[in-house]
A and B are shown apart, each in its own frame.
Chain A
Amino acid sequence: MEVRYDNARDTFIEALERHAIDELGIRDNPELIDLVKRLIRLETAKDLDILLTTKLKKVYKLIRKEQKLKARFVNRKQWEQETFQRFNIYFRIQHIMLFTSVIILIITGLPIKFPESSASKILMFFMGGIVMQGILHRVGAVLLIAFYVFHTGYTIFNKDGRRDFIALLPGLKDIKDVLQMIKYFFGLSKEKPEFERFSYVEKFDYWAVYWGGIVMVGSGLIMWLHNLTLRYLPKYVYDIAREAHSDEALLATLTIVIWHFYNVHFNPSRFPGSMVWWHGKLTKEQMLEEHPLEYKKFIKDKEGRHGS
């Protein structure tokens, strides 16, 4: 009796293993097959009686998790070796702060710009009315102002920040790059312009946000604190602030949606977007494609460090 029972158990476990291997599609991966077998035996050893579908699902889940971890571990080593840290943690936090606040501000601000559109009415309904909209817009504003404070501090006190600010100043090379790009676009030249740390596109984006931010935060604060500002400033200043806020908001929204989204999401080599905003790393290929001069500098620095 004992023997027969044991056989039944083994048969069952084997069937389970075959099923799991088929289900996961890991037939030609001996390492993972081994893992599956071990996990199934581990699970079944605990309590065979309640090994039902739910239990099996749990096993699959565990295996998948392990698989993912392993794949990530393998890739990570490779990843670390072949990528370049282009944006540090402060840079990435600033970008996340900026886009979070801008998305909030655009969504909460658009209904005020187009009050008679039915889409605005729907948006307003989901925001919970004009009072809630006002609160949310101010939350976005506070985040945006915090971003500007953070950025100013970063530019002044951080070594990378100072370097980036200087690298972002427009120069003669940018005009040359634009001309070269136009030549390249029309097929007059086969060479794309070679960019340094920031291309003219990125410089345009930076200064557009810089100018836009001053206009938006300035005019926004005049309106937010209107009872205070109108004590010292005539009403037409408020009207100017309102006009500028509304117009610059539209300009910024269109620029982001058309230009920035094209550059980072919708162009064929980027679609549907990358995770650079999260890890701040570019691969060698991407570096050579987009910032060849910066890549050369990276390599030089690395060699310099190894040499010393």
Chain B
Amino acid sequence: MKKIKYVFFIITILLVPFNAFSQAPLYQKCLLCHGRPGFKKMLPDGNTLELFVNKSELEHSIHSKLHCTDCHADVMEIPHLKTPGKVNCYRCHYKDNPNGALPANEFFKSIHGKLAAQEDPKAPHCQDCHGGHNVQKVDSPLSTVNHRDVASTCGKCHKAQYDNYIQSIHGTALLDRHIQSAPTCTTCHGKHLILKPDDPEATIYALNVINVCSHCHENKELIKKYNIPGGRISTYKESYHGVADEFGSARVANCSSCHRAHFILPQNDPRSSINKANLAKTCGKCHPNANVNFTKGKIHVNYKSRSTGILYYIGMFFEILTMSTLTLLFIHILLDLFRRYKAGEIGKKTKHGD
């Protein structure tokens, strides 16, 4: 009889893996209803809620190996009576998770996360950007948050900014000319830790804007490769705007004050804020009564370049004047000391002590 006990035990052990895979039909079961195209629900306010789940989308997502209830954990029976709650990605993507994507702990520090925590209905959760059933790896071409498509994802809510961005030099470079180095929303605003512009921690806070722009506009390789004008950051830093920015004045103009944040266009574009025709208006935002005089002369002045004309020669004049004057004065001082040394004046106590 002892042997029979062992046999039962071994059979039980062997059955465990089958139990584990026995949820596969459940996946199929959900799709019995949700897999039907046009499966939807009428809401009390008259809108319809799309409840259809595209099976192929689900099978090609990064979560293809998961089961419906892994995410929709509150669904306990079929048919489910209650409306399932919002999916909580942190069930798997918790801190120090050894496998799977790293969790975005920064998210709850961001403005999106803070509003989500306050249960603001407009605030986005993970799935609003990364996608629900179609969630993909970030670098996948199918992902909603890859470098090319993240702008349209953000644009779902931030419509005005998106409209400006797709017309800007950055937007056209990325979306029309397919230049992968061109920036998109997340390049400047950050990914999970997106903060309001008036937050000093934000990447786009007045004092931090220069760091964001210098990422590409100070990058010699990119400047050379795409023939973008160089020396923009260094000349800004030399200007009074740049100096005041360096010393922490958030009031002073930074890159985006003149070039705008989303609708950035090259100078020769008539819509550009820095087009000669619009420059007086742009400067006039801070400088009352700014007129056409603001356009006479360069804004990004490189004092050390011959191309700045008279300024270069004035700088040179002062350089020569300073050098020659100080050299002569220094020689005079040295000769004076030499003479005093010869006369034995140095080393003795001096007479005039008043």
B246 touches A234 (CB 8 A): no
Looking at the assembled complex, report how far the CB atom of A156 sits from the nearest CB atom of chain B, in whole angstroms: 29
B322 touches A254 (CB 8 A): yes
Contact of A234 among B297, B336, B345 (CB under 8 A): B297
What are the 3 A-B residue pairs with the smallest beta carbon separation, nearest first?
A236-B297, A234-B296, A247-B318
- The A-contacting residues of B in range 237-253, CB under 8 angstroms, are 237, 240, 242-244, 246-249
Contact A231-B246, Cβ < 8 Å, known A236-B310, A251-B318, A251-B325:
no
B249 touches A239 (CB 8 A): no
Given contacts A130-B248, A239-B311, 4 further A-B contacts (CB under 8 A): A130-B247, A240-B314, A250-B322, A255-B329
Assembly CA distance A66 to B354 (angstroms)? 21
**B residues less than 8 Å from A187 (CB atoms):** 339, 342
Contact of A269 among B297, B335, B350 (CB under 8 A): B350
The chain B residue sitting closest to A111, CB to CB, is B247
Contact A258-B333, Cβ < 8 Å, known A116-B246, A236-B296, A269-B352:
yes
B336 touches A185 (CB 8 A): yes
8 contacts between A and B (CB under 8 A): A133-B247, A223-B240, A235-B298, A240-B311, A251-B325, A254-B322, A258-B333, A274-B352
The chain B residue sitting closest to A226, CB to CB, is B287
Inter-chain contact total with CB atoms closer than 8 Å: 128
A71 at the interface (CB under 8 A from B): no
B295 at the interface (CB under 8 A from A): yes
A227 at the interface (CB under 8 A from B): yes
B293 touches A247 (CB 8 A): no
B319 at the interface (CB under 8 A from A): yes
Contact A259-B329, Cβ < 8 Å, known A267-B336, A270-B352, A275-B354:
yes
A115 at the interface (CB under 8 A from B): yes
Assembly CA distance A242 to B303 (angstroms)? 10
Chain B contact residues (Cβ within 8 angstroms of A): what range? Answer: 35 or more
Contact of B249 among A111, A130, A244 (CB under 8 A): A130
B314 touches A231 (CB 8 A): no
Tell me the B residues contacting A by CB distance below 8 Å.
237, 240, 242-244, 246-249, 287-291, 293-299, 301, 303, 308, 310-311, 314-315, 318-319, 321-322, 325-326, 329-330, 332-333, 335-340, 342, 345-346, 350-352, 354
Contact of B293 among A116, A232, A259 (CB under 8 A): A232
A25 at the interface (CB under 8 A from B): no
**A residues less than 8 Å from B339 (CB atoms):** 184-185, 187
A248 at the interface (CB under 8 A from B): yes
**A residues less than 8 Å from B298 (CB atoms):** 235-236, 239
B351 touches A285 (CB 8 A): yes
**B residues less than 8 Å from A112 (CB atoms):** 240, 243
The chain A residue sitting closest to B315, CB to CB, is A243
Assembly CA distance A233 to B293 (angstroms)? 6
B237 touches A258 (CB 8 A): no
Assembly CA distance A251 to B293 (angstroms)? 30
Assembly CA distance A275 to B352 (angstroms)? 11
- The B-contacting residues of A in range 84-130, CB under 8 angstroms, are 111-112, 115-116, 121, 124, 129-130
A230 at the interface (CB under 8 A from B): yes
**A residues less than 8 Å from B330 (CB atoms):** 258
Assembly CA distance A237 to B308 (angstroms)? 12
Contact of A130 among B244, B287, B332, B336 (CB under 8 A): B244
Assembly CA distance A274 to B294 (angstroms)? 50
A129 touches B248 (CB 8 A): yes
Contact A230-B311, Cβ < 8 Å, known A251-B318, A254-B326:
no
Assembly CA distance A125 to B68 (angstroms)? 59
**A residues less than 8 Å from B354 (CB atoms):** 274-275, 283
Looking at the assembled complex, report how far the CB atom of A131 sits from the nearest CB atom of chain B, in whole angstroms: 7
**B residues less than 8 Å from A242 (CB atoms):** 240
The chain A residue sitting closest to B279, CB to CB, is A235
Assembly CA distance A239 to B314 (angstroms)? 10
A298 at the interface (CB under 8 A from B): no
Assembly CA distance A124 to B246 (angstroms)? 11
**A residues less than 8 Å from B303 (CB atoms):** 243
B315 touches A231 (CB 8 A): no
B326 touches A255 (CB 8 A): yes
**B residues less than 8 Å from A129 (CB atoms):** 247-249
**A residues less than 8 Å from B315 (CB atoms):** 243, 247
A262 at the interface (CB under 8 A from B): yes
B310 touches A247 (CB 8 A): no
A231 touches B351 (CB 8 A): no
**B residues less than 8 Å from A235 (CB atoms):** 293-299
Assembly CA distance A102 to B352 (angstroms)? 27
Looking at the assembled complex, report how far the CB atom of B253 sits from the nearest CB atom of chain A, in whole angstroms: 13
The chain A residue sitting closest to B295, CB to CB, is A235
Assembly CA distance A271 to B340 (angstroms)? 14
Assembly CA distance A239 to B322 (angstroms)? 20
A307 at the interface (CB under 8 A from B): no
Identify the interface centre among A124, A130, A250, A270: most chain B CB within 10 Å of its CB. A130
A158 at the interface (CB under 8 A from B): no
Looking at the assembled complex, report how far the CB atom of B248 sits from the nearest CB atom of chain A, in whole angstroms: 7
Looking at the assembled complex, report how far the CB atom of A226 sits from the nearest CB atom of chain B, in whole angstroms: 7
A30 at the interface (CB under 8 A from B): no
B345 touches A268 (CB 8 A): yes
